[in-house]
Amino acid sequence: MNIPEPDLEKILLLAPSPKPPTGLKERLLAHAPSSPRRSSESSVPAHTTLAWLRRWWPAFAPAMISLACAVVLAVQQNELRDLKHSLEILASKPVQAEDTQAIRTMASNQSSGQASDRDDAEIERLKQLIAQLSSEVMQLEQWRAENEKLRARLATPQISGLSPAETDAVEKAREKALSVACINNLKQFGLAVRVWALDENEKQPPNVLCLSNELVTPKILVCPAETSRQVAADWSTFTPANCSYEYLVTSGTNVAIESNRVLSRCPIHGHIGLCDGSVQGQVAKNHPEWLVSRNGKLFFQPPPEPSESAPNNPGP
């Protein structure tokens, strides 16, 4: 049957509401899960703590660093205070003479032990060099005496009435005397260079004027056969124009390595002085082929002497 809509609504409102079974609420609560609620409740404080740390960390970090620095500084101040106190105690105690002597003895033993081998080698080298220079000085003294005799002989007036042969012989003797005097001058010059090099680690002097302390007078720098060159009275008036000899070695040459290098040369007689102090007579004039140039340096290189043990070729 057809019931109007208002009446149907009234009928439904008047219908009795059903009653739930007894104990339904307790049973539902007993079977309901409880872990999600506890996990959600515990997660809220943790989330809140992390947010708090993120917010206040920029303020706490400098404070913690400052606190650590303050602790380190305090520890260092305590250590410095202890060290100062120890130093004051040590400074207040007088040093005994026995301790000072023991310290000096230990230092001297260490230094002597380290340098003993080097000093022995250097002393041996200096002894050999002194002996060599002493022999050269004695030889130069002999040559100087002979040079004085020759000069005195040349200074005596010539005897008139000599024959041409005798005059020629006298002239040859005079030339020989001048040549020997020139060799003596080169010897003295080479010895002065050796003495200067001994104080400068075997290096040659850069110029002749540096030898003013080793050479007694600059007069030996003029060849006795030189007639157009003026002799300097002393080193204060010396100039390169007062030197007849050619100085061919500049600074930096090691005598021990280049002992056969040409040190000086006389353009008149052709004598050459070597870096080892020896003088070769008239080599530049009579045997110029014995002078060899290498890398802009002039060396004395004579031909090898023939061997005496070579067998003679029998005749036909």
Residue 138 pLDDT: 83
Q: What is the pLDDT of residues 187-201, one digit of tens each?
A: 999 999 888 888 888
Q: Report yes or no on 237 lying in a domain.
A: yes
pTM, rounded to two decimals: 0.49
Q: In this structure, how many other beta carbons lie within 10 angstroms of the beta carbon of residue 204?
A: 22
Express each pLDDT in 60-115 by its tens digit.
777 788 888 888 888 888 888 888 887 777 776 554 555 566 666 666 666 666 66
**What CA–CA distance (Å, rounded) separates 73 from 82?**
14
Kindly list the distances between the CA atom of residue 16 and the CA atoms of 3, 21, 22, 76, in Å, as whole numbers in the listed order.
20, 15, 18, 91
Q: State residue 200 phi and psi, 5-degree precision.
A: -125, 35
Residue 72: inside a domain:
no
- Residue 2 inside a domain? The answer is no
The pLDDT assigned to 185 comes to 92
Instruction: Give me the pLDDT at residue 97, please.
Output: 52
Mean pLDDT by 10 residues, the chain (316 residues): 62 70 78 56 57 72 80 82 79 58 64 70 84 81 79 62 74 89 92 86 84 89 89 90 87 68 91 90 90 88 72 45
In a domain, 216, yes or no: yes
Q: Which residue has the tokens 């002194």?
A: 130
| 44 within domain boundaries | no
Please tell me the distance from the alpha carbon of residue 106 to that of residue 311, in angstroms, as a whole number: 68
Q: Considering the domain boundaries, does residue 76 fall inside one?
A: no
Evaluate whether residue 196 is within a structural domain: yes
176 and 154 in contact (C-beta within 8 Å)?
no
How far is the C-alpha of 221 from the C-alpha of 193, rounded, in Å?
13
For residue 200, is it within any domain? yes
The domain in which residue 170 lies consists of 127-155+165-300
Q: How many domains does the chain have?
A: 1
* H helical segments located in 200-314: 283-286
